[in-house]
Structure 1
């Protein structure tokens, strides 16, 4: 026999709603999603919640639990105190459809705007060849389950609805970084596209996205910061600037930014021949000053401290929680 626990669940739709209180049985080993299902079965059969695998791999059951974006299927009830109220609300950044279900079409639209993988010319499917060392750095980003918790917590769109048109968000920054680091991707303007069309410059690396990622992807340190560094190097490096003054533009290895949907936005041939001969791992080269010039390729930098602060503990006390319904039309 389980114990009775106090739950507060947001109920409503796109016109508004409120938090409702429930006393519900909780058994040992259960997760928040189990309790939500029990509420559906015993007290409120019309409660809407999105879920699928219940194994932390589909990303469907994203919600905010006691103020922190989490997966309902991966948040154990044992993490809360016996007398603690558990408050469950929908993702704040996206429009509410009903109860705990939000409209995440924003993310699918941004996915369509991102240029796809562009294989090198003359290479047929099945002929791609690369070594594990070539993909180790970008392989981390393939763990993304598209739960959109990183998108939800990013204040650029969470607090500023007007930014959504120009900002793709951390989920798609790691996709752009993955393709930019891919040894067979022939498109050479990923960095420029991230800056010009995805809104990379809007990100001020607060690392909230890294903090909430259930797959523990180091989104900021391993994807966003390297992309920002490459954009800055390309645009503001004094040697590159001097090169523009001395040489003609067509003599510089700087691809032009073309819109992903443009008819002329075809991928350029970068001269990659990875399919013919795999690269041989080499020791990192030292610059004239004796320092590594490509150190970021060889260092797995640990994530920084929590952006929520060292003195902040989750879950938040129920008396500090509030849920602001998104405005109509947003």
Structure 2
């Protein structure tokens, strides 16, 4: 025989609502989603809740339990004291449809904006070959079940609705990192795209996304921080900056990564007003002044560009003088596997486990 427990569940729709109290029977071994189902069968048959697998693999039953974004099917009732009132509310970041169901279409829109995997043109799909050592790091990000808990807890969009247009969120930062690490992906502008189009610079690495991930993906340590390091290496490294000034690389921006989406191409050697070069140069003095003074939330984010090349597709001397991208990077050739434990830029998913 189960015990009676107190639940407080948000009921309402896009026009408003409030918390309603329920007393419901709880049996040993049950999870919060079990209690939601019992309420639907007894006291609240019209209670709306999204779910599918009840095994922590579909990411459908995302909700906020006592203020913490969690999966209802993975939150056991035994984690609460018997006299504790369990409060269940919808994800706060996204618009409410009804009760515990929210409109998460924002995430699917950002998924469509993310450039897809670009395999080598001269390799047939059945001929793709990769070594395990080459996919060791990006394989972690494939565990994402798209529960969007990391998206809803990210304060950049949680507390600032106006940021949604320019910010993709942690789920798509690790997607960009995964493809940037992929040994067969041929796009070389993933990090620039993440910075200029996905809003990577808005993230201040509070690691709240990592804390709520039910798959224990090290989103910040293994995805966002390395991507930020790559961007800083290319854009702000003093040697690259000096080379751009000496060889005036900033005067000839090349094809933008957003050309396909904008429907217009930029011929080699043709400048685009307000477009930053790969090294940070720009034809717009105002945009450059804003970039030097810090983040301006009201200006249009410059489009990223590929490394400057001549009409024969060859890199200039400034590129050829470096044997790697400006400085050692966790993505570079200087990384050996397995990674040494003192390597602070990489946190293994299992390193927190107690043995």
Report the alpha carbon displacement of residue 262 of structure 1 after superposing the two structures with TM: 3.6
Residues 244-269 of structure 1: CA deviation (Å, up to 9, x unaligned) = 2344749x9x975421524467999x
Report the alpha carbon displacement of residue 291 of structure 1 after superposing the two structures with TM: 12
Mean CA deviation greater in 123-132 or 17-26:
123-132
Mean CA deviation greater in 290-299 or 47-56:
290-299
The answer as to whether partners of 2:210 and 2:217 remain within 8 angstroms in 1 is: yes
The aligned residue for residue 84 of structure 2 is: 84
Equivalent residues in 2 for 1:251-262 (5 A)? 256-259=255-258, 261-262=261-262
The aligned residue for residue 234 of structure 1 is: 234
Q: If the length of structure 1 is used for normalisation, what is the TM-score?
A: 0.80
The alignment covers a number of residue pairs equal to 284
Report the alpha carbon displacement of residue 130 of structure 1 after superposing the two structures with TM: 1.1
The aligned residue for residue 70 of structure 1 is: 70
The aligned residue for residue 54 of structure 1 is: 54
Report the alpha carbon displacement of residue 120 of structure 1 after superposing the two structures with TM: 1.4
The aligned residue for residue 120 of structure 1 is: 120
Give the match's secondary structure for 1:261.
Answer: helix
Task: Give the number of the structure with larger relative contact order, counting CA–CA contacts within 8 Å between residues 6 or more apart.
Answer: 1
CA distance in 2, matches of 1:182, 1:240: 25
CA distance in 1, matches of 2:133, 2:115: 25
CA distance in 2, matches of 1:209, 1:129: 32
The aligned residue for residue 151 of structure 1 is: 151
Which runs of 5 or more residues in structure 2 are unaligned?
A: 267-304, 307-322, 349-355
Equivalent residues in 2 for 1:1-330 (5 A)? 1-247=1-247, 249=249, 256-259=255-258, 261-263=261-263, 294=334, 298=339, 299=343, 301-302=346-347
Which runs of 5 or more residues in structure 1 are unaligned?
A: 269-284, 304-330
CA distance in 2, matches of 1:249, 1:263: 25
CA distance in 2, matches of 1:208, 1:232: 23
> CA RMSD, aligned part only?
2.9
CA distance in 2, matches of 1:175, 1:16: 35
